[in-house]
């Protein structure tokens, strides 16, 4: 994951325009809010990125933790949200030190593809420990083995056409093809999981999961899962 952290901590061109970037974060925030069950919920956005619309999420819950591994991005988050007492910024190391059973909802969106299978197992184990018994993990934007880059391109162009930045998106696709992102993706790769494999992986880490019908964000060909801590059978003496 370190190579991807360095990339997102740099000046990158992953968004076609400011409008694209702003709409992306607005859409993610809207989808996260849809999973917040109660107004006093304690929510963690794991590897949140710039989280430009986090204020909207914070308005819908009791406390929002933004966990971000990239130090430069994390510094901007701290500066941006310092006045908001409902938002706290943490490193992933800070997250590992949080109290057990302290979170109602954890969102990990568009993150699994950048982690090795071992890193993802470790993250799931941490999240399982932090979730309340009735809490949920929402794992979004998971890449499928049978769906390649052409579908990502189609999803982006449809999103751009609906929101008025199609020209910028076309230019951005050319720029991305020549960018460090394309080179890094070719060299390091992205992790992909079938529905069954991801459910099994979550289960191995103590989380009972199912896929939901609609993915977080604009790409309908990626997957979102909702997982809950597995119930531990009560001990019965013979």
Contacts of 197 (CB under 8 A, 6+ apart): none
Domains of the chain by start residue, with CATH: 2-229 (3.40.50.150)
CB count, 10 Å around CB of 29?
A: 21
Q: Is residue 7's pLDDT more than 70?
A: yes
207 alpha-carbon distance from chain centroid: 17
User: Tens digit of pLDDT for each residue in 141-161?
Assistant: 999 999 988 999 999 999 999
pTM for the full predicted model: 0.92
At residue 229, does pLDDT exceed 60? Answer: yes
Nearest to residue 158, comparing CAs of 221, 110, 215, 218? 218
Q: What's the pLDDT score for residue 237?
A: 45
Q: Cα 230 vs. chain centroid, distance in angstroms? A: 22
Q: Which residue shows structure tokens 């406390």?
A: 63
- How high does pLDDT run on average in the chain? 92
Convert the pLDDT of each residue in 57-97 to its tens digit: 999 999 999 999 999 999 999 999 999 999 999 999 999 99
Pair 25, 107: CB distance under 8 Å? no
| Mean pLDDT to the nearest integer, 17-24 | 95
Return all residues near 120 (Cβ < 8 A) that are at least 6 apart: 112, 191, 201
Mean pLDDT value across residues 13-31: 93
The answer on pLDDT for 226 being more than 70 is yes
User: What 3 state SS string does 152-219 have?
Assistant: HHHHHHHHHHHHCCHHHHHHHHHHHHCCHHHHHHHHHCCCCCCHHHHHHHHHHCCEEEEECCCCCCCC
How does pLDDT run across 168-205, given as a tens digit for each residue?
999 988 887 767 666 776 677 899 999 999 999 999 99
β strands within the chain, DSSP E = 42-46, 63-67, 87-90, 103-109, 131-142, 207-211, 223-229
Distance, CA of 176 to CA of 181 (rounded, Å): 7
* pLDDT given at position 182: 66
Predicted local distance difference test score (pLDDT) of residue 234: 43
Tell me: pLDDT of 236 over 50: no
């Amino acid at each position: 994951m370190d190579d991807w952290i360095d990339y997102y901590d740099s000046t990158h061109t992953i968004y076609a325009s400011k409008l694209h970037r702003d709409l992306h974060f607005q859409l993610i925030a809207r989808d996260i809010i849809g999973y917040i069950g109660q107004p006093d919920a304690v929510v963690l956005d794991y590897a949140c990125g710039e989280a430009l619309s986090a204020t909207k999420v914070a308005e819908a819950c009791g406390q929002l933790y933004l966990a971000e591994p990239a130090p430069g991005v994390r510094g901007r988050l701290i500066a941006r949200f310092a006045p908001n007492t409902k938002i706290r910024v943490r490193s992933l190391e800070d997250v590992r030190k949080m109290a057990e059973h302290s979170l109602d909802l954890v969102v990990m969106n568009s993150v699994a593809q950048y982690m090795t299978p071992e890193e993802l197992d470790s993250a799931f184990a941490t999240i399982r420990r932090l979730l309340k018994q009735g809490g949920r993990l929402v794992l979004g934007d998971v890449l499928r083995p049978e769906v390649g880059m052409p579908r990502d391109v189609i999803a982006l162009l449809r999103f751009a056409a609906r929101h008025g930045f199609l020209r910028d998106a076309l230019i951005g696709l050319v720029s991305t093809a020549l960018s460090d992102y394309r080179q890094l993706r070719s060299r390091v790769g992205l992790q992909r999981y079938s529905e069954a494999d991801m459910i099994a992986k979550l289960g191995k880490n103590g989380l009972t999961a199912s896929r939901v019908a609609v993915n977080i964000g604009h790409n309908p060909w990626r997957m979102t899962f909702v997982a809950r801590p597995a119930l531990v059978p009560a001990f019965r003496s013979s």
